[in-house]
């Protein structure tokens, strides 16, 4: 790497290029000096590399802006080219909806304004272009309010620039920036407040979080910017190296930014129904996602020295661990950094990056800050564990996957004795299920004996370990059914003798099915082939490739495919991972249909496990991944769409059927309308009986409620359709006393949580079939809590 490239890339770092010392002025002087000398030979390369670094290392933009400001004093033409290239990149980003690029380039232009490269009034023109487009979008008559996500994004881009340049704009063009602020305030008065329905990490809205729920992200950022403005734009968390060169930079010529335009908004649907509005709203939110929803994991005392805007500045940085360790802020930020990382990891509907990214970042931070960050992460885990029953089902799964992977990188060390009490809880208690699932995932990442060793200080937890993952072959000895054992041995010999699939099919038809029937033939074939393929993943693939036609022949309809899945589950009953892998491969060879998997998942034996394990839903993920791979092949696209419709109809019908009876039994009939003020729940403590305890089999506690619990549930259902409030009531019905819901209630809550999570996770695939779902599934007879869980996952409001 040439020296000028290295200096530009490493500026602001404690690196060998700068003698291992961090001094912004020394870095800027050294970088500027080398770049200036190399311009004659490498001007185009320098220009391109500077812009690439500014986009990909946005935390260094103030440093790059200052270097460009110094270059502007000697080479205005180069700086004009930088601005022209930036303007073109910004326009391209606006046209394509590249949100991150728009945000970064807007900050870059703001910093260039601070370095006297860009005219302040020209930057305001860019702001007002975005502001005008945003105001038009949310106008009910001229715009398309279903695309408010784009409008909100434009406004947040403007507001996000102000911590970096609000002071200079206020000093140089106070009237113009005030006009922008007034315009934003007017926009906020006509936009719809964005509800977090379906996207809340915690189901519960408690006193700690309530203040943060009263504002959505745009309103929250606006209030922080207002506070910053009242504080004369003083902010220590944003580096301002240009001030070191203020006397020099003021002599430079400021340039105008070329004109930009915002893309036209999509046409409003001809028939603006709730579904059509929701479909366009979902499309807009996919393209212009909201920013992170802040998790308040730690007490306020951990971040008490922060200004309101400081949190936003730190959260706005998405750099890797090496950069995060040395963020240029004057306060300790380990707790804020942890909250930011977990906020992104648990962000709904999906995190900005793949979950493995956050795993690596946390690992690197623990190694880079060994005296501070591991304890902070452990504190975050404990805090989240304490509220695990309130955690969204999808977030709970993400936390399990992250935590087990994290521990696997640190010798599986954890003070398990702290959580030994979960063994005293019912098998369906969320905290017990969490520990059980973490241990299960650890075994998958390592091996059973290693994980057992990691809990040796709490040996009782071995009860929650999964069985050792050995197959359970039905014909392992001659003591088993002699007829089937003999057939299995004969089939095994045919496979080892390299008989073709055609030969095996002929044998089955002539010697097995005709004599013993299809059920025995299916059982023998599946068990025997799985046993041959159980040695490794390669063995499984080889068996399916050679003899998949045999399985397809005897499992040609949905019912036999369900039996096939059941046999796979029986053979691999000690290994949920192997079950999921085998089913996934069979789907890849089209031996099992999506609909067969749905029916198997909703079989009576599996339904009873919905609240005690996540393992059944792994097959759901595999079936959708296969469907997505089909959709990527144009020739099969129409077929995939047809399969999708049948899949979703079957899935939601099954969900509705298994929930209907239990919901009515647990939460009452939907026709019982509440009376009086639905916003208030009247509690008469004088007339309520004293708390009583009912111990059933020593594992479940049941308390009489201090208020009319079922009336409160109906209020939630009929007045606000608030599933979060329902979940809150079920967990807090003990009125200040420790309360564990009964098994039937936990089953309902868990299953509704899966409905919401599935609807949210695959919303893009569900929306094209929403009219059909409304017509055939979400009818008037469906239980309102089920309908509400679906709508909540799709972020579809009842009044839309």
Tens digit of each residue's pLDDT (9 = 90 or more) over 205-216: 443 444 445 678
- What would the two tokens of residue 439 be? 């241990």
Low-confidence residues of the chain, pLDDT below 70? Answer: 1-2, 15-21, 196-197, 203-214, 269-272, 291-294, 300-308, 310-311, 314-331, 480, 615-618, 620-642, 668-741, 797-800
- Domain residue extents for the chain: 3-255+272-277, 292-391, 395-462, 482-573+575-607, 630-667+708-727+739-799
Cβ atoms of 289 and 306 within 8 Å: the answer is no
Distance linking the first and last C-alpha atoms of the chain: 57
pLDDT tens track for 584-634: 999 989 999 888 888 888 888 888 877 777 766 667 554 444 444 444 444
Q: 517: buried, middle or exposed (CB in 10 Å: 19+, 13-18, 0-12)?
A: exposed
Nearest to 577 by CA among 717, 420, 404: 404
- For residue 694, list its beta bridge partners: 702
Residue 345 Cα to chain centre, angstroms: 6
User: What was the pLDDT predicted at 328?
Assistant: 58
Cβ atoms of 310 and 237 within 8 Å: the answer is yes
Nearest to 648 by CA among 800, 779, 750, 771: 771
Would you call 695 helix, strand, or coil by DSSP? strand
User: What was the pLDDT predicted at 640?
Assistant: 55
Which residues have a Cβ under 8 Å from the Cβ of 509 and sit 6 or more positions away? none
Cα–Cα distance, 64 to 473 (Å, whole number): 65
Cα–Cα distance, 28 to 697 (Å, whole number): 72
Cα–Cα distance, 110 to 123 (Å, whole number): 7
User: What was the pLDDT predicted at 627?
Assistant: 43
DSSP state at residue 202: B
Whole-number average pLDDT of the chain: 82
User: What was the pLDDT predicted at 718?
Assistant: 34
Let me know the angle formed at the C-alpha of 779 by 777 and 781, rounded to the nearest 5 degrees.
110
Cα–Cα distance, 213 to 41 (Å, whole number): 56
Give, in order, the Cα–Cα distances in Å from 71 to each of 23, 68, 76, 111, 649. 20, 5, 7, 14, 63
Helix ranges restricted to H, 289-392 = 308-315, 321-325, 334-345, 355-368, 373-386
Residue 759 Cα to chain centre, angstroms: 13
CATH 1.25.40.180 fits 292-391, yes or no: yes
Which residues have a Cβ under 8 Å from the Cβ of 301 and sit 6 or more positions away? none
User: What was the pLDDT predicted at 570?
Assistant: 92
pTM of the model: 0.78
Looking up tokens 């991972």, which residue turns up? 577
User: What was the pLDDT predicted at 456?
Assistant: 92
Entry field: residues in the chain: 800
Query: How many other C-beta atoms lie within 10 A of the C-beta of residue 427?
Result: 15
CATH number of the 3-255+272-277 domain: 1.25.40.180
User: What was the pLDDT predicted at 641?
Assistant: 61
Establish whether domains 3-255+272-277 and 292-391 are of one fold.
yes
Q: Which CATH architecture has domain 482-573+575-607?
A: Alpha Horseshoe (1.25)
Give, in order, the Cα–Cα distances in Å from 201 to each of 294, 347, 359, 386, 528. 9, 7, 19, 14, 45
- What would the two tokens of residue 643 be? 């399969």
Cα–Cα distance, 57 to 324 (Å, whole number): 12
User: What was the pLDDT predicted at 238?
Assistant: 87
Cβ atoms of 622 and 588 within 8 Å: the answer is no
Nearest to 525 by CA among 558, 482, 564, 471: 564
User: What was the pLDDT predicted at 642?
Assistant: 67
Sign of the CA dihedral with 407 first, then 409, 415, and 420 last? positive
Cβ atoms of 795 and 198 within 8 Å: the answer is yes
Cα–Cα distance, 425 to 385 (Å, whole number): 14
């Amino acid at each position: 790497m040439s020296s000028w490239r290295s200096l530009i890339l490493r500026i602001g770092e404690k690196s060998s290029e700068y003698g291992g010392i961090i001094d912004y002025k020394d870095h800027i002087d050294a970088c500027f000096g080398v770049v200036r000398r190399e311009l004659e030979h490498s001007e185009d390369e320098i220009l391109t590399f500077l812009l690439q670094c500014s986009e990909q290392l946005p935390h260094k933009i103030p440093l790059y802006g200052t270097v460009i400001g110094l270059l502007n004093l000697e080479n205005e033409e180069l700086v004009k080219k930088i601005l022209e290239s930036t303007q073109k990149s910004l326009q391209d980003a606006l046209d394509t909806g590249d949100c991150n690029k728009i945000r970064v380039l807007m900050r870059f232009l703001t910093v260039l304004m601070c370095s006297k490269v860009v005219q302040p009034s020209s930057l305001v023109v860019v702001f007002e272009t975005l502001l005008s487009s945003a105001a038009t979008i949310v106008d009910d008559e001229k715009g398309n309010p279903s695309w408010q996500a784009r409008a909100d994004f434009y406004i947040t881009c403007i507001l996000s620039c102000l911590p970096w340049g609000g002071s200079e704009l206020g000093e140089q063009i106070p009237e113009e920036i005030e006009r922008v602020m007034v315009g934003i305030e007017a926009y906020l008065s006509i936009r719809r407040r964005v509800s977090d329905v379906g996207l809340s990490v915690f189901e519960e809205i408690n006193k700690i979080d309530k203040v943060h729920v009263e504002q959505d992200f745009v309103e929250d950022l606006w209030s922080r910017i207002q506070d910053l403005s009242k504080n004369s734009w003083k902010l220590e968390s944003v580096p301002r190296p240009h001030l070191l060169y203020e006397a020099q930079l003021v002599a430079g010529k400021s340039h105008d930014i070329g004109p930009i335009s915002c893309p036209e908004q999509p046409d409003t649907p001809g028939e603006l129904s709730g579904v059509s509005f929701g479909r366009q709203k979902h499309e807009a939110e996919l393209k212009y996602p909201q920013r992170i929803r802040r998790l308040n994991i730690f007490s306020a005392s951990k971040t008490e020295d922060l200004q309101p805007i400081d949190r936003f500045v730190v959260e706005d940085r998405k750099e890797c661990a090496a950069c995060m360790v040395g963020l240029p802020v004057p306060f300790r930020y380990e707790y804020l950094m942890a909250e930011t990382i977990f906020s992104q990891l648990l962000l709904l509907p999906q995190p900005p990056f793949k979950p493995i990214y956050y795993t690596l970042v946390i690992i690197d931070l623990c190694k880079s800050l060994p005296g501070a960050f591991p304890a902070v992460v452990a504190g975050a885990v404990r805090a989240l564990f304490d509220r695990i029953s309130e955690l969204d089902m999808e977030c709970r799964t993400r936390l399990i996957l992250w935590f087990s992977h994290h521990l696997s990188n640190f010798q599986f060390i954890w003070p398990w004795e702290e959580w030994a009490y979960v063994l005293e809880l019912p098998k369906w208690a969320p905290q017990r299920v969490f520990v059980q699932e973490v241990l299960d995932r650890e075994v998958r990442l390592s091996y059973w004996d290693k994980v057992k060793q990691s809990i040796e200080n709490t040996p009782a937890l071995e009860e929650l370990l999964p069985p050792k993952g050995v197959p359970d072959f039905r014909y392992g000895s001659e003591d088993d059914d002699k007829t089937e054992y003999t057939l299995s041995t004969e089939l095994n010999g045919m496979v080892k003798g390299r008989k073709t699939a055609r030969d095996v099919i002929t044998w089955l038809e002539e010697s097995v099915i005709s004599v013993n029937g299809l059920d025995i033939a299916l059982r023998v074939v599946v068990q025997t082939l799985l046993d041959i393929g159980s040695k490794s993943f390669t063995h499984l693939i080889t068996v399916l490739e050679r003899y998949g036609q045999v399985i397809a022949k005897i499992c040609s309809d949905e019912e036999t495919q369900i039996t096939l899945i059941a046999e796979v589950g029986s053979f691999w009953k000690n290994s949920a991972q192997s079950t999921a892998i085998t089913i996934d491969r069979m789907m890849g060879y089209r031996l099992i249909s999506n609909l067969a998997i749905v029916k198997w998942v909703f079989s009576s034996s599996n339904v009873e496990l919905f609240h005690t394990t996540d393992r059944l839903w792994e097959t759901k993920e595999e079936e959708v991944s296969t469907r997505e791979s089909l959709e990527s092949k144009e020739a099969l696209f129409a077929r995939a769409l047809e399969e999708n419709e049948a899949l979703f109809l079957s899935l939601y019908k099954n969900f509705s059927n298994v929930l209907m009876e239990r919901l009515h039994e647990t939460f009452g009939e939907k026709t019982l309308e509440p009376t009086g003020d639905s916003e208030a729940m009247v509690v008469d403590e004088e007339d309520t009986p004293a708390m009583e305890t009912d111990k059933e089999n020593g594992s479940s506690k049941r308390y009489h409620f201090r208020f009319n619990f079922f009336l409160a549930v109906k209020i939630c259902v009929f007045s606000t359709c608030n599933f979060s409030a329902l979940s809150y009531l079920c967990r807090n019905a003990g009125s200040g006393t420790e309360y564990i819901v009964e098994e039937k209630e936990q089953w309902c809550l868990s299953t509704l949580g899966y409905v919401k999570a599935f609807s949210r996770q695959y919303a893009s695939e569900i929306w094209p079939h929403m009219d059909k779902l409304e017509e055939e599934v979400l009818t008037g007879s469906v239980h309102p809590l089920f309908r509400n869980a679906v709508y909540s996952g799709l972020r579809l409001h009842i009044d839309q």
